[in-house]
Structure 1
Amino acid sequence: MNKQTIELNEYTAAYMSVGDGIPVILLHGFFGDAETLGSIASTLASNYCCISLELLGFGDSSKPDLRYVIGDQVAFLKEFLTAKQISKFYLIGYSYGSWVAAAYAVDRHDLAISTPDLLGMVLLAPAGIRDDSFVGRYDHLRPLFWQTPLIDLVLNSIAPLMKLMGREKSFETIQTARHALMTQPAARSFLLDRLEPEDAIDTVEKDIDRIDTPTLVIAGEIDGTIPFWHAQTYAEKIPHASIVIIPAADHDLVQTHSQEVSESIVKYWNQSASI
């Protein structure tokens, strides 16, 4: 898949596209880009036109100086659909992307006239439910926000030691997060603006009962990033939603269990179409 760009009203949207058929818009997670859901897009491409959109402030899409809230991403998605002249589509969101997808579905319900026909929605390891237990959980990582080369020098200097200690994988995760926070203003702004419970101004748990789109929630059995009850909240509050739990899958299920995820999506959409 080659990355493409399209000009919107104010911003530029970057995306990758593969396959033919009814469009499926895929929204990546936090620190992600158009390649995050590449395995799922490739699997679905035999029957659908899979479009992996890089959200505002991520990848090669525009990176304006904003206090990024979910409403900004919803507006960005709407403009993208208009620019691409998409009249009906499926929507898949992963983690942060699920938050955006759910917020779009809520907004679409409230403004149903003149909006594209959302045929179905899939929420993978979804975020977007207020959870005050996150407050303080990552305080020890705050130096990663510091915009100084000193942090990168320190990380590079201790990398050999982390390898010797057998902590190379977890250390690579920290380095990836550091790079993302320095290159993705949406990620940086989003985290800095949500350090306290009262900052959770745009979670969607109060509104998702208004969603009228057939919705499949997919969660990893051992997700250590987003607690399982978040997925349960979506499945219970969205009318007629279904939930699938992928055994032995963590938050990165879109990479480690992409085949099971894709099969669950296709099965659900086929069942929904036959009703």
Structure 2
Amino acid sequence: MANTYTDSGSGDALVFLHGFCESKEVWNEFMQPLQQKFHTIALDLPGFGDNIENISNYSMESMADDVKRQLDDLRVRKCILIGHSMGGYVSLAFAEKYGSMLSGLCLFHSSALPDTDEKREQRSKSIDYVERHGVDNFINPFTEPLFYRENRERLQQEIELMKNIGKQSPKESIKGALAAMRDRPDRTHVLREAKFPVLFIFGKEDSAVPLEKALEQCHLPGNSMVYFLGKTGHMGMFERTYETRKALEKFAETIYG
């Protein structure tokens, strides 16, 4: 069986969950400097990267169970969970089920709000599109708009990396994940009831998590830190590597000391 996680460093654990049509690979460079202080782990979510065997359920809840299984394998009892986009939806499902395992939570360009009716319809159309036109034809136009337009030329290599990862995703995984995101419930209560600090990282130019949606939820936890990034779309780990890493490092240091 392929290895569904990367883990390096030692000490308190930071666990990274990738977004839709991504894999653990998107965190490789981002995590490297953090390995000097923390035990850094990046997981493949079910259906993506190397975690593509025997997936029958793509719900956020079943993905959260898979994260728990991988953390048990790694003997991680407590961690800060960092979820990018769909990884944030999974993190919230994880927090709802296994909240006692969390020292902190970071929603990295993500949201506890459910899809709007318009967004649900869009996801259903995407499922149909993938079925009829295939993975490559879906990934090509999907990837670049995740990056703020002024950053695209500078980040051509990263955009190509994202496209390559996306194109390796099985068709069934893409359709399953789209349906799971479409059908996920409102989890703002998880933020409201959180017994751990929450860090929000938002891009001001992120069309996937618009600014007004971000503002609706960042005050909900009892203890939260919020970082808004100008000229940044949905991919802060590439668009603003230094700033997002520093924000996360500070957050982890306030928790772990």
For 2:172, the aligned partner's letter is P
The aligned residue for residue 10 of structure 1 is none
Which one-letter code corresponds to 2:167 in the other structure? Answer: H
Contact 2:31–2:40 (CA under 8 A) maintained in structure 1: yes
Q: Percent identity?
A: 20
CA displacement at 1:177 relative to structure 2: 9.0
What is the distance in 1 between the residues matched to 2:91 and 2:23?
A: 15
Q: 2:69 aligns with which of 79, 82, 88?
A: 79
Q: Is the CA contact 1:39–1:254 (under 8 Å) kept in the aligned structure 2?
A: no
Bigger mean CA offset, 225-234 vs 236-245: 225-234
Q: What residue identity is the alignment partner of 1:250?
A: G
Of 44, 48, 52, the residue aligned with 2:42 is: 52
What are the superposed Cα offsets for residues 106-137 of structure 1, whole Å, 9 maximum, x if unpaired? 2224xx4xxx3x22221100144113131344
CA-based RMSD of the aligned residues comes to: 3.4
Give the 3 Å change call, closer, same or farther, for CA 184–263 of structure 1 in structure 2. farther
Paired with 2:166 and 2:241, the residues of 1 have a C-alpha distance of 26
* 1:39 matched to 2:29: yes
Deviations 1:184-206 (A, max 9, x none): 63332122466xxxx63434124
SS in 1 for 2:26: coil
1:162 is aligned to none
Q: Deviation at 1:140?
A: 6.5
After superposition, the C-alpha distances for 1:196-230 in whole angstroms (9 at most, x for unaligned) are: xxx63434124431211111101011112222234
- Tell whether 2:113 aligns with 1:126: no
* TM-score, normalised with respect to structure 2: 0.79
C-alpha separation in 1, matches of 2:78 and 2:184? 30
Aligned-partner residue type, residue 26 of structure 1: F
What's the CA shift string for 1:71-95, capped at 9, x where partnerless?
1011111111211111222211111
Amino acid at match of 2:247: S
- The answer to whether residue 18 in structure 2 is matched with residue 23 in structure 1 is no
TM-score (norm 1): 0.74
Partner of 2:148: none
Count of residue pairs the alignment pairs up: 241
Cα distance in 2 for residues equivalent to 1:46 and 1:63: 33
What SS does the aligned partner of 1:79 have?
Answer: helix
* Residues 107-146 of structure 1 aligned to structure 2 (within 5 Å): 107-109=97-99, 112=100, 116=101, 118-132=102-116, 133-137=118-122, 141=126, 144-146=129-131
- Segments of structure 1 that go 5 or more residues without pairing to the other structure are 6-13, 157-167
Structure label with greater radius of gyration: 1
Measured after TM superposition, the shift of residue 270 of structure 1 is 2.4
3-state SS in 2 of match to 1:101 = helix
CA shift for structure 1 position 53? 0.4
- Contact 1:24 1:48 (8 Å CA) reproduced: yes
1:229 matched to 2:216: no
Taking the aligned partners of 2:79 and 2:2, their CA distance within structure 1 comes to 19
Give structure 2 stretches of 5+ with no counterpart: 141-152
SS at match of 2:58: coil
| Aligned residue number for residue 88 of structure 1 | 78
Match of 1:200 among 179, 183, 188: 183
